Chains A and B, each alone.
Chain A
């Protein structure tokens, strides 16, 4: 088990050892950085391609049909076919568009999506960079995609993308705060911002999701993550049925593929982070560590795709109301419960935290009852 667990780390050490022989040592440091970068640069787009495939398969199966199965055995070559199609598609730039912003937007939208992978602990000792502010780094970089999306919508000078852009910025800004607030209990308990130490705090099955505050913090964080990534039921910025394709209406060919890639890579990153923060990252009994991380991340992705196959879309003001009136107060109250949990000794804290959490839930439900939709009655005349 030990060997397979750190197979990649050993592989990297082997390369470095081999290079040690005839390269000056400062180049070896650069090579080791380069190896991690190439690993991420390959892992990112490949996950994106096979996430599109997985999404079409799962949504297909939800809708009683097969999903792509013509290209390759189970349609496994479909993402490659899509990639080639995207490359060969004509890249139309609207005549009235602001050329610079229109061109820069897809480029800048991919950078945060890739940067964010550097902080995720894929396995034991396999986090590309062990920043001691890793979690904050993740949250900060993911806000940059807001600006890129807005550049895309502003640059293409199209009314629908303008609407999409406005919605995207409003949504991202208002879901950033509950997301950060829902992460605070995790930092409070582990005492450090680094994702690697967060995972170490959960080793041995003591995952945060089993604690009363952790379960609800995970839900809030996941919902905010789905909103951050613009996926159903929060996919207003590209509401197909309302504003055609929102901010990427005027993009075609490879530029559209970049937007698409950024969306899927950040979806994987958010699921990876949820797994790290609440589901114990790469901690798991038998399988090697990185396999556990992938299982958990793909479980989260399955839930996101499941959302996409079922739920309709929220309206703009309901979206805001949901974030400000429900998620944010809930996350704040959750911090107190986590503090309570952290303060008391082991057996008592579960009971007290559980009770506190129940009180919090009741308070939130009662407060939200007013504007939550009521049941309807119908009369049967003849």
Chain B
């Protein structure tokens, strides 16, 4: 009747109050952020990064510009490298991702035929200036495969197994085995690289 519903409600809050003291594991849900960090799930996706095998200059990306075209908010900007004679090379000279615009949706990772771009787990990226500091150039984007293996073991394992099965070796191996001019890496047959 009048007042008992209120008392029942108050008993719930009192129970939570006592629970937070006698059994903090269940009663307290706060994670003390700077000291203890809540570990992220394996498939957690934050901003993308570029993968390279071994040394940074033999990165997997071949500047095919598919991810730039597929990216919904258009935050990737690629200019392929040109060699002495002005011919287009299979490496990006500049590869900028504007982290301020990227909404970490993961579409670039899906559509990249060369397994060159993946979503990172790093989320402490706050900067002072939004325009210049958040525009990540190629150097800041490049990370070794080991880093990818460390943060996403199952996905990376599956992709590495796939690459090994298809016999795709890292860029270093490719360059020695075939003349630099017209390299026809196996994986680009299905869609011709429509570079700009």
Q: Which residues of A contact B (CB under 8 A)?
A: 58, 61-66, 306-307, 309-311, 365, 368-369, 372
Contact = CB atoms under 8 A, between A and B. Distances in A.
Given A61-B17, A64-B16, A310 B9 contact: yes
Interface of B: 1-2, 6, 9-10, 12-14, 16-17, 19-21, 27-30
Contact of B2 (A58, A310, A368): A368
Contacts of B29: 64-65
A365 B1 contact: yes
17 contacts: A58-B17, A61-B16, A61-B17, A62-B13, A64-B19, A64-B20, A64-B29, A64-B30, A65-B29, A65-B30, A306-B13, A306-B14, A307-B10, A310-B9, A310-B12, A311-B10, A369-B1
Contacts of A368: 2
A365 B2 CA distance: 7
Given A61-B21, A63-B16, A65-B29, A372 B2 contact: yes
Contacts of A61: 16-17, 20-21
A58 B21 CA distance: 11
Given A365-B1, A365-B2, A306 B10 contact: yes
Nearest to B7: A310
A372 B12 CA distance: 23
A64 B23 CA distance: 11
Given A64-B27, A64-B29, A311 B6 contact: yes
A287 B12 CA distance: 32
A282 to B, nearest CB: 27
A337 B19 CA distance: 41
B13 A310 contact: yes
Nearest to A311: B6
Contact of A64 (B1, B14, B28): B28
A303 to B, nearest CB: 9
Given A306-B13, A311-B9, A369-B1, 19 more contacts: A58-B17, A61-B20, A62-B13, A62-B16, A62-B17, A64-B16, A64-B19, A64-B28, A64-B30, A65-B29, A306-B14, A307-B10, A310-B9, A310-B10, A311-B6, A365-B1, A365-B2, A368-B2, A372-B2
A66 B27 CA distance: 10
Given A306-B14, A309-B13, A310-B13, A65 B2 contact: no
Given A311-B6, A365-B2, A372-B2, A66 B13 contact: no
Contacts, number: 44
Contacts of B28: 64-66
Nearest to B20: A61
Contacts of B20: 61-62, 64
Contacts of B19: 64
A65 B1 CA distance: 32
Which 6 A-B residue pairings sit nearest by Cβ, starting from the closest? A310-B13, A61-B20, A65-B30, A62-B13, A62-B17, A64-B29
Nearest to B29: A64
Given A306-B13, A309-B13, A66 B2 contact: no
A369 B3 CA distance: 12
A66 B31 CA distance: 10
A311 B20 CA distance: 20
A365 B14 CA distance: 26
Contacts of A64: 16, 19-20, 27-30
Contacts of A66: 28, 30
B28 to A, nearest CB: 6
A175 B12 CA distance: 29
A322 to B, nearest CB: 10
Nearest to B12: A310
A311 B9 CA distance: 8
A357 to B, nearest CB: 16
Nearest to B19: A64
A41 B120 CA distance: 58
A65 B24 CA distance: 10
A195 B6 CA distance: 32
A61 B9 CA distance: 16
Contacts of A62: 13-14, 16-17, 20
A365 B9 CA distance: 20
A142 to B, nearest CB: 25
A64 B29 CA distance: 6
A62 B9 CA distance: 12
Contacts of B14: 62, 306
A62 B28 CA distance: 10
> Looking at B10, B13, B14, B27, which has the most chain A CB atoms within 10 Å of its CB?
B13
A62 B27 CA distance: 9
